[in-house]
Amino acid sequence: MKMSWRKTAMSGLLTLTLAVVAPVSPAQASTLAPTLTFRTAGTVSALPTCDLGIWDYAYFSGPKGWMFLPIYNPTEDIDCLLASSNYNNWGVVALQNALVRCYGQSIAVDGDFGSGTRTALLNAQNWERVVNGKALAVDGVYGPATRGSIMWPYYTSSGNLAGPHKCMY
């Protein structure tokens, strides 16, 4: 396998391309070379708004289960933002679900990022910062740092947010 780094035209965006080195046709090569994109801190404010929730099967150090995560719909990018004034949004539902199920917050899971959701997110961010020592801004904004720092409910099957779950990082 061969790795190469390249910086794209978008400032601060770094792309890692993994290529399989083997005798394959050009058509096969394009399917064997996934591209992973990482954002540096300077590009967080340029992230799109999460506008959808997606069921994703999580593998980290072994299978964990199904997660329902906020994404930016056109690209299915999990690096996206949610803040006050995002309304009628499945991405907000995914975040609210995690705040209710994993942090015991008493908010409606209604897709509206109002003051209750902001306060619940502030509580979760503060918990992770103070209790678990994570270097996380307590700002009431959901973005890549918060996504990677808070607990998410993992389900045995997809499609039922009220189903049995375990909260995990």
Determine the longest span between alpha carbons in the chain, in angstroms.
57
pTM of the model: 0.73
Could you tell me the two tokens for 21? 């080195």
CATH number of 47-168, picked from 1.10.101.10, 1.10.8.100, 3.40.50.300, 1.25.40.80: 1.10.101.10
In contact, 91 and 113? CB cutoff 8 Å: no
Instruction: Return all residues near 19 (Cβ < 8 A) that are at least 6 apart.
Output: 1, 2, 3, 4, 29, 32, 33
Say which residue the tokens 């908010």 belong to: 107
Q: What are the pLDDT digits (tens) for 75-123?
A: 989 999 999 988 889 999 999 999 999 999 999 999 999 999 999 999 9
Q: Which residues of the chain have pLDDT under 50?
A: 1-42
Amino acid at 82: L
All CATH 1.10.101.10 domain ranges in the chain, comma separated: 47-168
Amino acid in position 108: A
